[in-house]
A and B are shown apart, each in its own frame.
Chain A
Amino acid sequence: MSALTPLSVPRLPRGVRMRFDPVRNSQVLLAPERTFDLDEVAVAVLELVDGQRTIGEIAGELASRYAADKAEIEADILPMLSDLASKRVLET
């Protein structure tokens, strides 16, 4: 699989979904045989992963929401999304 770029359009494939876990009071990403605990940043990113937006657009939205630098956000979320892709829980 080729590496993710700001132009990649990520999506969660069937069998991978985010849900709120009321017992542990946190969002989790459920995947085959795995559960990922998500921090606030990961939740904010994954809420924008919809199979429509590019990674660059996701970074742009987060940048305006948090009044932060888009390039910095992009540099933060690319490795995070690449890691999920290497674990086969995110596709482009």
Chain B
Amino acid sequence: MNAISPAVPAPIGLLAELTHRCPLRCPYCSNPLELDRRSGELDTATWQRVLSEAAELGVLHIHLSGGEPTARADIVEITGHCARLGLYSNLITSGVAGALQKLEPLADVGLDHVQLSVQAADAARAERIGGLRGAQEQKLVFGRRVVELGLPLTLNAVIHRGNIDEVQAIIDLAVELGARRLEIAHTQYYGWAYLNRAALMPTRADVALSIAAVEAARARLAGRLVIDLVVPDYYAKYPKACAGGWGRRLMNVTPAGKVLPCHAAETIPGLEFWHVTEHSLGDIWHRSPAFNAYRGTDWMPEPCRSCDRRELDWGGCRCQALALAGDAAATDPACSLSPLHARIKDLAVSEAATEVAPDYRYRVIGGAPAAARQEEPA
């Protein structure tokens, strides 16, 4: 499968993890447990070359992410480069620390969109979850400034046991700030979130209430606020098409320049990832072993292989299959057709039923404690 296949569509989006440095310490962070250090980060010129290659390859959206992307001294230069190439730039930010100071220069060079994270509506709760005191007020000031500058604002809230009863309040906050979009994203359990799963897993009843709140708000706020909902896998009937299908729509470039089909793909042992300093982005998209490993449907086992949904779900998530089934090529256990599905659901139910949730293990550069690594399949 090393030849360029005409059937492989060009990627639409590229997630540029500019740095893993971040003032927040959210226990569900989507970054890997082994975070890249500043000394290993790509320089400005390399990022600009990568973005130029992305535009040439057919990428339309660049998600400037991290960590906290505004922690990079060159974030304005990088964003300006996107604008010159016609790439749609999306800043995914915590809105704290130096973010506010960079906002106006970013708007001036043509930043297209801002996605601001909120950990909860209530400040004390939000700051306990994010692990940074004083964060909430900074976020609110930042969000208001985004709207004042005329930029579109999306609020993103990762939902879990510690804030699931605040979904309505988060919707109200989005309206109050003047956001055009809100993402109510139930936690996906990879990396740090997998490590903290027992502290994060909500009950099924609370999940149902949160979904009902979103549906009611969608009807009430039509034309004012668009609400995207990511439902929690463990209670789902079908898995999500992770990253829109492996190697179909998205590329992820790590701070050190490794190119991944999704942000968690490094958890899969034996995959060979290529690096932007050694290969062009187009070469990596078409020819790198990691991108071809689970592309399309040829790799699928049963029940995926003969499933009517195989080109809708694309087999679900490979990283989740590895974490829960011990095999990255297995059917995602989030799927009700997986033989492991009932066990996964029971696991979620029992974790959510504990009276007091365990303490968070906060995200920290230097890695999680050895005992807590994601080794044991459920």
A residues bordering B, Cβ < 8 Å? 1, 13-17, 19, 21, 23-24, 28, 30-33, 35, 85-88
**Contact A21-B58, Cβ < 8 Å, known A15-B151, A30-B88:** yes
CB distance from B369 to the nearest CB of A (A): 35
Q: A76 CA to B150 CA in the complex, in Å?
A: 30
Task: Scan B86-114; emit 1 where CB is below 8 A from any A CB, else 0.
Answer: 10101000000000000000000000110
Task: Scan B160-183; emit 1 where CB is below 8 A from any A CB, else 0.
Answer: 000000000000000000001100
A88 neighbours in B (Cβ, 8 Å): 180-181, 223-226
Q: How many A-B residue pairs have CB under 8 A?
A: 60
Q: A87 CA to B222 CA in the complex, in Å?
A: 8
A33 touches B228 (CB 8 A): yes
Q: A35 CA to B115 CA in the complex, in Å?
A: 16
Q: Can you pick out 28 interface pairs between chain A and chain B where the beta carbons lie within 8 Å of each other?
A: A1-B222, A15-B113, A15-B151, A16-B152, A17-B88, A17-B112, A23-B10, A23-B58, A24-B10, A24-B58, A30-B60, A31-B152, A32-B112, A32-B152, A32-B154, A32-B180, A33-B61, A33-B113, A33-B154, A33-B181, A85-B223, A86-B222, A86-B223, A88-B180, A88-B181, A88-B224, A88-B225, A88-B226
A19 neighbours in B (Cβ, 8 Å): 86
CB distance from A77 to the nearest CB of B (A): 17
A16 neighbours in B (Cβ, 8 Å): 152
Q: A2 CA to B115 CA in the complex, in Å?
A: 27
A30 touches B112 (CB 8 A): yes
Contact of B12 among A13, A15, A35, A87 (CB under 8 A): A35
Residues of B within 8 A of A (CB-CB), count: 25
B10 neighbours in A (Cβ, 8 Å): 23-24
By secondary structure, the A interface counts as loop
**Among residues 219 to 234 in chain B, which have CB atoms less than 8 Å away from a CB atom of chain A?**
222-226, 228
B57 neighbours in A (Cβ, 8 Å): 23
Residue in chain B with minimal CB distance to A34: B61
CB distance from B222 to the nearest CB of A (A): 6
